[in-house]
């Protein structure tokens, strides 16, 4: 469970006092946190706690209105999102987001291509055979090899979620950000996904946003609890479970 | 990994083998059809029109069908190509090949200008901004009377012979004129096929399919859109230049928003986002216009009704519907 304890405590990602306001609404206020390399860190909290906002700041989908984000010691605050992918940060979406009309394999191949060729209008892409081979490896890893020639829109919900993870992996991230990866999944699919996440975390850092606390207690090295846009608690699953403030928040709206 | 390369040439869901064959040899098929086309057409002038409007629609389709943005200002790209080609000949006495190059450059340049201003908007806003900018271009050319002839159009683009490495081709002869223009159109089709099969071609479709996902994957969506729009401008500029050579005059109406609307109709009719669609759309539309206008002066009524019927019953367009049938 605590795989990170034996590892170095190197910090891969750090936020210093980040906040985000939408007009007058303060979605997130002054959050400072550090994320260790190689660990699984989960960000939990009830609805409207600011989890998704925080997540979007981490992956560069939008810039914070104050504070800064640091990745591997570099200040990345306010960089355009596509640059985050180039640096080694990849994300999956809360609501499934794939290229619906393209085949499963082409979805991943396009993800891979972003690292190699983005503006080449002349060479045939059929020559980039290594991308297809890498795509096939990733398809096998996320369990979609059988569905490789199907259009992504025809996949079942759980398969689309898996495809999404595959696409996030395509950019060879050192940091993988997952936004509610099990949203809308059956218990069976959820178990498969959790196993996959643990497997992926062996080779890279994972940050997970999750609504259901129970789900992440077992696999996380560290947990951040957000509430009303503030950092309510932080610690190992054990510490968080026993934290009085966390208990109040989660009991107040019935733990899932 | 024997099946490994198929998905690249054919990124969409698996379909019938005839479709795969057509996709693999798409540019050659177009070339073959274009070469025999005038032999089955009643008059060559119509065949030339179909070539030119087909090429215009092919350029437009790159933005509309492949990138998924509806531009209502493509007349500016087509028209600038025509005017620059004409101006190069009339005012600067350029040879025909330099004039065509000027037309392509004009299309690229105008697309860069319009693109930089419009590309951050999307949906109806993109359509409106491109339309407004193309109206600006219309007035610009309308006012520059010394250069463009204003409302009389630019006259006197007389290219009688095409010199090709010592070979003198009689450009007045309709058949020779057709094949000279066809050579450019076929070359453009090969270039387009190449672009669509390139890594960038995959990026264009990815951006159309899911902009947010493309961005998260590491693609600069704005830059991709701009580059696609500029490429589209090159094709439309070439089409415009050929139109100027063909008509010997550039009428100011070429910049009118009707020219922008026409290409939307042609692309929809043939099948947006398909390789052959725009050419088929141009052929069907112009032949219909030609045939029906012989019977009645109210040809627009009938062609309009046919167009509406097509959009209602075959929303994927003529070629798009055929592909869908082939997939079953």
Question: How far B291 CA lies from chain A's nearest CA (Å)?
Answer: 38
Of B12, B198, B224, the CB nearest to A123: B198
| A94 part of a folded domain | no
Do residues A163 and A179 both lie within one domain? Answer: no
The CATH number covering residue A242 comes to 3.40.50.300
Contacts of B67 in chain A (CB under 8 A): none
Instruction: Look at residue B19 and tell me whether its pLDDT is greater than 80.
Output: no
CB contact A132 to B (< 8 Å): yes
User: Is A103 found in the same domain as A69?
Assistant: no
Q: What is the pTM of this model?
A: 0.90
Residue of B113, B62, B43, B77 whose CA lies nearest to B290: B43
Confirm or reject contact between B227 and chain A (CB < 8 A): yes
Domain of A23, in residue numbers: 1-88+174-189+204-256
Q: Does B163 touch chain A (CB under 8 A)?
A: no
Which of residues B95 and B325 earns the better pLDDT score?
B95
Indicate whether A180 and A74 sit together in one domain: yes
- For the ranges A158-167, B103-112, B217-226, B317-326, the lowest mean pLDDT is seen at B317-326
Is there a domain that residue B321 lies in?
Answer: no
Contacts of A124 (CB under 8 A, 6+ apart): B194, B197, B198
Look at residue B45 and tell me if it is in a domain: yes
Closest in B1, B217, B223 to A114, CB measured:
B217
Which chain A residues contact residue B211 at CB under 8 A?
none
Task: Write out the two tokens for A92.
Answer: 């999956």
> How, if at all, do strands A40-44 and A25-36 pair?
unpaired
How many CA atoms are closer than 13 Å to the CA of B270, on its beta-carbon side? Answer: 30
Q: Do A161 and A223 have their domain in common?
A: no
E strand intervals along B141-284? 161-164, 167-170
Residue A54 has pLDDT above 50, yes or no: yes
Q: Are residues A27 and A74 in the same domain?
A: yes
- My answer on whether A179 and A165 are in the same domain is no
Chain B residues within an 8 Å CB radius of A148: 7
A171 and chain B in contact, CB less than 8 A: yes
Judged by CB atoms closer than 8 Å, whether chains meet at B216 and A98 is answered as no
Cβ contact, residue pair B218, A150, below 8 Å: no
| Alpha-carbon distance A232 to nearest alpha carbon in chain B (angstroms) | 29
Residue A249's pLDDT is 84
For an interface test with A, which of B120, B215, B216 has the most A Cβ atoms less than 10 Å from its Cβ? Answer: B216
pLDDT tier for residue B225 given thresholds of 50, 70 and 90: very high
| pLDDT higher than threshold 70 for residue B9 | no
Pairs of CB atoms within 8 A across A/B: 138
pLDDT value for A154: 95
Residue B83 lies in a domain: yes
**What are the tokens at A16?**
């210093």
* Any A CB within 8 A of B166 CB: no
Specify the number of domains making up chain A.
2
The torsion defined by the Cα of B253, B255, B256 and B260, in degrees rounded to 10, comes to: 130
DSSP assignments along chain A, one per residue: --HHHHS---EEEEEEEEEEEETTEEEEEEEEEEEETT-EEEEE-STTSSHHHHHHHHTTSS--SEEEEEETTEE-TT--HHHHHHHTEEEE-SS----TTSBHHHHHHHHHHHHH-SS--SS-GGG-HHHHHHHHHHHHHTT-GGGTTSBGGGS-HHHHHHHHHHHHHHT--SEEEEESTTTT--HHHHHHHHHHHHHHHTTSEEEEEES-HHHHHTT-SEEEEEETTEEEEEE-HHHHHH-HHHHHHHHHT---
Co-location of A112 and A51 in the same domain:
no
Domain of B90, in residue numbers: 29-257
In a domain, A219, yes or no: yes
- pLDDT score, position B328: 60
| pLDDT band per the 50, 70, 90 thresholds, residue B8 | very low
- Burial of residue B310 (number of CB atoms within 10 Å: 0-12, 13-18, 19+): buried
Residue B189 lies in a domain: yes
Structural domain total, chain B: 1
* Contacting residues of A for B3, CB less than 8 Å apart: 149
* Smallest CA–CA distance from B216 into chain A, residue: A82
Q: Is residue A106 within 8 angstroms of chain B, CB to CB?
A: yes
In A142-161, the residues whose Cβ lies within 8 Å of chain B are 148-151, 154
pLDDT tens digits, A68-124 = 999 999 999 999 999 999 999 999 988 889 999 999 999 999 999 999 999 999 999
The answer to whether residue A196 is domain-embedded is no
pLDDT at B139 over 80: yes
Residue B138 lies in a domain: yes
With contacts defined as CB-CB under 8 Å, which chain A residues touch B191?
A: none
Q: Are A208 and A181 in the same domain?
A: yes
Quick one: tokens of A124? 């045939």
> Which of A92, A95, A102 to probe by mutation at the B interface, max B CB count within 10 Å?
A102
- Do A132 and A226 lie in one domain? The reply is no
A101 lies within 8 A of chain B by CB: yes
Least confident of A138-147, B19-28, B47-56, B172-181: B19-28
DSSP state, residue B252: G
Complex-level ipTM:
0.86
B36 and A CB contact within 8 Å:
no
A16 and A81 housed in the same domain: yes
Is the same domain home to A77 and A178?
Answer: yes
Question: What is the per-residue pLDDT for A252?
Answer: 62
Scored b (16 or more CB within 10 A) or e, B116-134 reads: eebbeeeeeebbebbbebb
Decide if pLDDT at B14 tops 70.
no
Is residue A185 assigned to a domain?
A: yes
Write phi, then psi, for A24 (nearest 5 degrees). -95, -10
Position B242 scores a pLDDT of: 97
Please check whether residue B231 lies inside any domain of the structure: yes
The verdict on A83 and A182 lying in the same domain is: yes
Kindly state whether B67 is in contact with chain A, defined as any CB-CB distance less than 8 angstroms. Answer: no
A 10 A CB-CB count for B291 gives: 14
Report yes or no on B245 lying in a domain: yes
Task: At A59, give phi and psi (nearest 5°).
Answer: -95, 0
Which chain A residues have a beta carbon less than 8 Å from that of B9? Answer: 126
Residue B102 included in any domain:
yes
Q: Which residue has the higher pLDDT, A153 or B40?
A: A153
Per the domain annotation, does A80 fall within a domain?
A: yes
Task: Identify the pLDDT of residue B16.
Answer: 61
Whether residue A179 is contained in a domain is answered as yes
């Amino acid at each position: 469970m605590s795989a990170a304890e034996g590892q170095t405590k190197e910090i891969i990602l750090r936020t210093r006092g980040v906040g985000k306001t939408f007009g007058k609404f303060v979605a997130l206020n002054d959050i400072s946190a550090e994320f260790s390399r190689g660990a699984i860190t989960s960000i939990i909290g009830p609805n409207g706690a600011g989890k998704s906002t925080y997540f979007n700041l981490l992956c560069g989908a939008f810039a914070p209105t104050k504070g800064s984000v640091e990745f591997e010691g570099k200040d990345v605050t306010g960089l355009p999102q596509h640059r985050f992918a180039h640096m080694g940060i990849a994300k999956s979406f809360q609501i499934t987001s794939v290229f619906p009309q393209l085949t499963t394999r082409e979805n991943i191949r396009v993800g891979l291509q972003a690292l190699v060729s983005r503006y080449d209008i002349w060479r045939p892409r059929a020559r980039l055979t290594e991308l297809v081979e890498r795509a096939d490896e990733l398809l096998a890893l996320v369990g979609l090899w059988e569905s490789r020639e199907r259009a992504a829109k025809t996949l079942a919900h759980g398969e689309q979620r898996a495809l999404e993870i595959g696409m996030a992996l395509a950019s060879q991230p050192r940091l993988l950000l997952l936004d509610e990866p099990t949203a809308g999944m059956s218990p069976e699919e959820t178990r498969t996904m959790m196993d996959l996440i643990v497997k992926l975390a062996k080779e890279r850092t994972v940050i997970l946003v999750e609504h259901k606390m129970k789900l992440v207690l077992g696999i996380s090295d560290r947990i951040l609890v957000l509430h009303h846009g503030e950092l309510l608690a932080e610690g190992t699953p054990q510490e968080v479970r026993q934290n009085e403030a966390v208990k109040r928040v989660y009991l107040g709206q019935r733990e899932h | 990994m024997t099946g490994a390369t198929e998905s690249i040439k054919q990124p969409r869901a698996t379909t019938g083998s005839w479709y795969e064959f057509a996709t693999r040899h798409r540019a050659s098929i177009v070339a073959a059809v274009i070469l025999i086309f005038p032999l089955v057409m009643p008059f060559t002038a119509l065949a030339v029109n179909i070539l030119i409007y087909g090429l215009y629609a092919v350029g437009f389709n790159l933005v509309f069908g492949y990138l998924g943005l509806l531009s209502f200002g493509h007349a500016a790209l087509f028209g600038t190509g025509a005017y620059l080609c004409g101006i190069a000949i009339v005012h600067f006495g350029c040879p025909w090949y330099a004039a065509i190059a000027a037309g392509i450059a004009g299309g690229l340049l105008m697309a860069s200008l319009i693109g930089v201003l419009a590309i951050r908007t999307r949906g109806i806003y993109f359509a409106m901004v491109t339309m407004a900018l193309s109206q600006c271009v219309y007035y610009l050319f309308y006012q520059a009377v010394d250069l463009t002839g204003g409302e009389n159009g630019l006259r006197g683009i007389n290219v009688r012979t095409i010199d090709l490495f010592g070979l003198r081709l009689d450009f007045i002869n309709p058949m020779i004129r057709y094949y000279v223009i066809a050579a450019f159109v076929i070359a453009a089709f090969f270039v387009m096929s190449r672009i669509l099969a390139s890594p960038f071609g995959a990026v264009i479709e990815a951006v159309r399919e899911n902009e947010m996902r493309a961005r998260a994957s590491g693609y600069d969506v704005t830059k991709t859109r701009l580059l696609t729009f500029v490429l589209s401008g090159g094709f439309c500029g070439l089409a415009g230049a050929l139109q100027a050579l063909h008509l010997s005059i550039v009428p100011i109406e070429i910049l009118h928003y009707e020219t922008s609307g026409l290409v939307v109709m042609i692309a929809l009719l043939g099948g947006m986002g398909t390789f052959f669609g725009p050419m088929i759309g141009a052929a069907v539309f112009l032949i219909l216009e030609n045939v029906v206008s012989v019977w009645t002066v109210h040809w627009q009524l009938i062609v309009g009704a046919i167009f509406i019927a097509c959009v209602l019953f075959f929303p994927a367009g003529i070629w798009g519907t055929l592909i869908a049938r082939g997939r079953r």
